[in-house]
Structure 1
Amino acid sequence: MKELRKRSIMWIIVSYSVPAAMTLFITAFYNIVDRIFIGNCNGSVALAALSICYPLSFLVAAVGLFCNGGGRSIFESYLKKGQEWKANHTFGMSFLMTAASEIFLTIFLFVFMEEWLRLFSVTESTYTDAKSYFEIMALGCVPQGLTLVLCDFIRIGGKLKEEILIMALGAIANIILDWVFVVVLQQGVKGAAIASVTAQIISALAAGCYIMSKKSPIKIAKKFFIIDDRLCTRIVKGGLIAGFIQLLLGVVVVVYNRELNLWGQTIAVSVYSVTASLLMFFMMLAAGIGQGIRPILSEYYENGQRKLFLHTMSAAMCFSLLMTGMLWILVELFPEQILSIFGADAVMMTIGVSAIRQNFIIAPVVSIILLGVSYFQAVKKEKIAMLLSFLWQIAVLIPFIYLLPLRKGLMGIFLARPICEGIMAIIVIFWIQRSYSKIKKMTK
């Protein structure tokens, strides 16, 4: 971090946040590309089927983060101390736990497939497509989980460009394979699932080959894969917050799908598929900035550089609000054009334009919430960070999803998120201001 003293705060924020945001965008890209191809080639019912299966991706990511989230920080800490053996051992434990957990999850998904589909709110009209997509995507648990863990450790080992290239390789492969399977071979949702899983396998193999190469920051040997119970426990504890957030996101999608089926049927679920895709861009952008600045904030805080800490946090918040604000303007001005990208028909367009404008009416405040979570993680207030995530995704949002339709009908469901985010932004600002006041007193 010594070289950062010679750089401006904004340069630091941009240089650390852009790669993190790019990685998150590429990760989210698979679902979005599938939806675009399916919406244009197979219609709104097939698009709704993909939305029904959407929680599966959060479940896979959550399992991966439980087994890997803590390993990243432990690995980085050992590298800084020059303890390469312990760093490599940390990678070995994260890899083994991720592989084993994702294999178990795959089996669990197949054994209870019908129960999962019912839980995800499948309907008679979406059942066939949803089942076809689900059973193939379940096979992608292992490659998706391993890609995440391998790329995380490649990035933390200082090979950021290589990580982005590996992720981009999978994303490009997904586009090409979607075109082949969905457009050329006309395999529908089944083809989209095959394309996604194949692309994930390509990314996992590319990451594995790089890890095994001489350029890799990680050394591979049998001794690094000897199970250490204490280390495994530390890794899991460190990944609880990240994994918990992913699970909450999946729960929210399930609740949305259930209420949309009740109040607007399949076409409303199709519209939600588009709004969920747009929401990814807002969240990935803000989360990328939060992830990028978190290690810098932690460094400043631990070293007692309180003024730099406060300036960096304030500048990052302004930068995130600016970027999400620019995206918000595009979404509010061009909802018809966005819906047409996903192959929306006249009925879907009628519902979708109002739904998008209402759902994203105050979307930039996502920056305040997500950077607030990163802030409290940086100052070692993990419990507050977890509480904020719980309030945002469960305690505040879900009641509004159930209650607002009783007064506003279908559009009430799409109003739930902006109302929730407005409330959460006020809560986050209040808590950050209290924390700021304490830190400012410490600088005097």
Structure 2
Amino acid sequence: MNDSLQTSPIHKLLLKYCIPAIVSMMTVSLYNTVDRVFIGHIPNIGSLALTSLGTVMPFITIILACELLITYGAIANLSIKLGEKNQLMAEKILNQVPGLGVMISLLLMIIFFIFKTPLLELFGANKIILPLASEYLNVIILGIPFYIIGFSLMATIRSEGNPKRAALILIMSCVINIVLDPIFIFGLGLGIKGAAIATVLSYLAVFIYVFYYYSIGKSNLKLKWAYLKPELSLIKPILLFGLSTSLVQLITALIQVLFNRSLAYYGTPLSIGAFTTVTTITNLALMPAVGINQGSVPIIGYNYGQKRYDRVKLTFIQGTLAATVIFTIGFILIQLIPDILIRFFNSDDSLLPSTSEGLKLYLFSLPLCALTTTAPNFFQAIGQSKLSIWLVILRQIILLIPLILILPKFIGLNGVWLAQPITDLIIAIISFYLIRKEFKRYSSV
């Protein structure tokens, strides 16, 4: 596997690593998408249920941030150590994942259970929405350890040279969720709570399988009792490498809150439900680039460790071009048939015009998102975590948050929708400059 990362043509490696990763990330997106499709069609309360889910999304995003903190940190360090032919250190890094996942999961569960109600109210839930949101969130909180530990270990399977298995595990879990959703929501009459139960059971399936794989399965690296003890010297680089990706999600949670509150103020409370649909379609559109990022990390990290800068450069260029093509196709579909896409998630005609308009405005700079997505992860993969974090802070805090707060004061609700694409346009220009500067450095080495 290591020799192929150094010698195989880049386009073949991208196909090998990125396609399974794209399938995996699209499957991750389907977790929430499937829930929202069924939840949006619950008789009589579909729009309210979608709105309640919108107030829960910051919680979900925080959980995802914690999982990605471990995932990206682990796979980046694993790839570099495998590139250096250091099998022992790679295995020790792998064994830090379960303990780190337990500590973070317990902390989240305690905080969420104690502050659930005031946080939901802060995130936009009113008296009508709060009971539905609490019903869904109570179950999701119980599944936090299964998700964080299971999905983090599943991601490392790609880095050790088995991307297809990781994709198959995720597909299996998604199928479980798809099958159980209608059974629990409609068949057993559990409504939104049933959607949460189905999701947690699918997390549990991943959790069980990855422990089997790394303990008695045919993995190259193994979970061993001798290495499971937390070691600060190993945990620190995991957290450092994963920080930028995790920070993106934490800031995304804050931005979701600002969007919820702005939409409710400049629109109506049900505008949060419209935003839930818009962000669901957005996630489906963005997941290919996230998959390309995950698939590229082992290739970039390994070749950077081997000082094969020509292959590092080519991997980034080809991956970003592929993401741009995918995003352009998504942009065309969103601009041409927004109503068809929206009706998958909600059949309430009263919400259709505002959701359609919001979707087209929110994603009008989608083709540029390829570069804004791949650039921070490129710098992360080559160990320049500070630059990666700086790009995230610039995009989400320095630009996007002020735009969310300022633009609606001048152009109303449209200002809320336009804040994100304007930010992406600016970041795309800056990212192009930074990547070009990095590539020039390779020419002088």
TM-score, normalised to structure 2's length?
0.93
Q: Could you tell me which residue of structure 2 aligns to residue 388 of structure 1?
A: 391
CA distance in 1, matches of 2:294, 2:285: 14
Secondary structure of the residue aligned to 2:351 is helix
Equivalent residue runs for 1:271-420 within 5 Å? 271-420=274-423
CA distance in 2, matches of 1:246, 1:148: 16
Q: Could you tell me which residue of structure 2 aligns to residue 113 of structure 1?
A: 116
Q: Could you tell me which residue of structure 2 aligns to residue 26 of structure 1?
A: 27
Q: Could you tell me which residue of structure 1 aligns to residue 225 of structure 2?
A: 222
Q: Is the 8 A contact 1:335 1:357 kept in 2?
A: yes
The structure-2 alpha-carbon separation of the partners of 1:319 and 1:69, relative to structure 1 and needing over 3 Å to count, comes to closer
Q: Could you tell me which residue of structure 2 aligns to residue 154 of structure 1?
A: 157
Report which stretch shifted further, 18-27 or 353-362: 18-27
Q: Is the 8 A contact 1:49 1:130 kept in 2?
A: yes
Q: CA deviation at 1:79?
A: 4.5
Secondary structure of the residue aligned to 2:161 is coil
Matched, 1:243 2:235: no
Q: Could you tell me which residue of structure 2 aligns to residue 134 of structure 1?
A: 137
CA distance in 1, matches of 2:427, 2:353: 30
Report which stretch shifted further, 79-88 or 391-400: 79-88
Equivalent residue runs for 1:60-79 within 5 Å? 60-79=63-82
Q: Which amino acid aligns with 1:237?
A: L
Q: Which amino acid aligns with 2:369?
A: V
Q: Is the 8 A contact 2:11 2:318 kept in 1?
A: yes
CA distance in 2, matches of 1:345, 1:100: 42
Q: Could you tell me which residue of structure 1 aligns to residue 173 of structure 2?
A: 170
What are the Cα deviations for residues 24-75 of structure 1, in whole angstroms up to 9, with x where unaligned? 2222221111111011124111101111101112211222333454233333
Q: Could you tell me which residue of structure 2 aligns to residue 97 of structure 1?
A: 100
Q: CA deviation at 1:5?
A: 6.7
Q: Is the 8 A contact 2:123 2:260 kept in 1?
A: yes
Q: Is the 8 A contact 2:121 2:130 kept in 1?
A: no
Q: CA deviation at 1:196?
A: 0.9
Q: Is the 8 A contact 2:65 2:249 kept in 1?
A: yes
Q: Could you tell me which residue of structure 1 aligns to residue 39 of structure 2?
A: 38
Write out the 4+ residue segments of structure 1 that deviate beyond 6 Å after TM superposition: none
Q: Is the 8 A contact 2:97 2:153 kept in 1?
A: no
CA distance in 2, matches of 1:75, 1:362: 34
Q: CA deviation at 1:282?
A: 2.7
CA distance in 2, matches of 1:302, 1:201: 35
Matched, 1:87 2:56: no
Q: CA deviation at 1:342?
A: 0.6
The structure-2 alpha-carbon separation of the partners of 1:353 and 1:145, relative to structure 1 and needing over 3 Å to count, comes to same
The structure-2 alpha-carbon separation of the partners of 1:301 and 1:107, relative to structure 1 and needing over 3 Å to count, comes to closer
What are the Cα deviations for residues 100-122 of structure 1, in whole angstroms up to 9, with x where unaligned? 22022112211121222123221
Q: CA deviation at 1:334?
A: 0.9
Q: CA deviation at 1:333?
A: 1.1
Q: Could you tell me which residue of structure 2 aligns to residue 179 of structure 1?
A: 182
Q: CA deviation at 1:145?
A: 0.7
Q: Which amino acid aligns with 2:17?
A: Y
Report which stretch shifted further, 2-11 or 106-115: 2-11
What are the Cα deviations for residues 130-180 of structure 1, in whole angstroms up to 9, with x where unaligned? 111111111111111111122023222222222212111111111111110
CA distance in 1, matches of 2:213, 2:3: 29
Q: Is the 8 A contact 1:282 1:366 kept in 2?
A: no
Matched, 1:262 2:269: no
What are the Cα deviations for residues 344-372 of structure 1, in whole angstroms up to 9, with x where unaligned? 31111111111111111121111010121
Stretches of structure 2 lacking an aligned partner (at least 5 in a row): none
What are the Cα deviations for residues 308-343 of structure 1, in whole angstroms up to 9, with x where unaligned? 443433332222111111111111111111111012
Report which stretch shifted further, 110-119 or 418-427: 110-119
Q: Which amino acid aligns with 2:122?
A: L
Q: Which amino acid aligns with 1:147?
A: G
Q: CA deviation at 1:78?
A: 4.3
Q: Is the 8 A contact 2:105 2:144 kept in 1?
A: yes
Report which stretch shifted further, 339-348 or 210-219: 210-219
Q: CA deviation at 1:306?
A: 4.0
Report which stretch shifted further, 89-98 or 360-369: 89-98
CA distance in 2, matches of 1:11, 1:89: 30
TM-score, normalised to structure 1's length?
0.93
Q: Which amino acid aligns with 2:316?
A: M
Secondary structure of the residue aligned to 2:143 is helix
CA distance in 2, matches of 1:139, 1:3: 41
Q: Is the 8 A contact 1:67 1:98 kept in 2?
A: yes
Q: Percent identity?
A: 26
The structure-2 alpha-carbon separation of the partners of 1:439 and 1:222, relative to structure 1 and needing over 3 Å to count, comes to closer
Report which stretch shifted further, 158-167 or 40-49: 158-167
Q: Which amino acid aligns with 2:16?
A: S
Q: Which amino acid aligns with 1:245?
A: V
Q: Which amino acid aligns with 2:39?
A: I
CA distance in 2, matches of 1:152, 1:332: 34
The structure-2 alpha-carbon separation of the partners of 1:33 and 1:226, relative to structure 1 and needing over 3 Å to count, comes to same
Q: CA deviation at 1:430?
A: 2.2
**How many aligned positions are there?**
442
Computed over aligned residues only, the root mean square deviation of the Cα atoms, in angstroms, reads: 2.2
The structure-2 alpha-carbon separation of the partners of 1:74 and 1:274, relative to structure 1 and needing over 3 Å to count, comes to same
Secondary structure of the residue aligned to 2:125 is coil
CA distance in 1, matches of 2:297, 2:87: 24
Q: CA deviation at 1:266?
A: 2.3
Q: Could you tell me which residue of structure 2 aligns to residue 57 of structure 1?
A: 60
Q: Is the 8 A contact 1:282 1:364 kept in 2?
A: no
Stretches of structure 1 lacking an aligned partner (at least 5 in a row): none
Matched, 1:436 2:439: yes
CA distance in 2, matches of 1:317, 1:80: 23
Secondary structure of the residue aligned to 1:401 is helix
Q: Is the 8 A contact 2:84 2:305 kept in 1?
A: no
Q: CA deviation at 1:83?
A: 4.9
CA distance in 2, matches of 1:294, 1:91: 16
Q: Which amino acid aligns with 2:194?
A: G
Q: Is the 8 A contact 2:150 2:207 kept in 1?
A: yes
Report which stretch shifted further, 239-248 or 172-181: 239-248
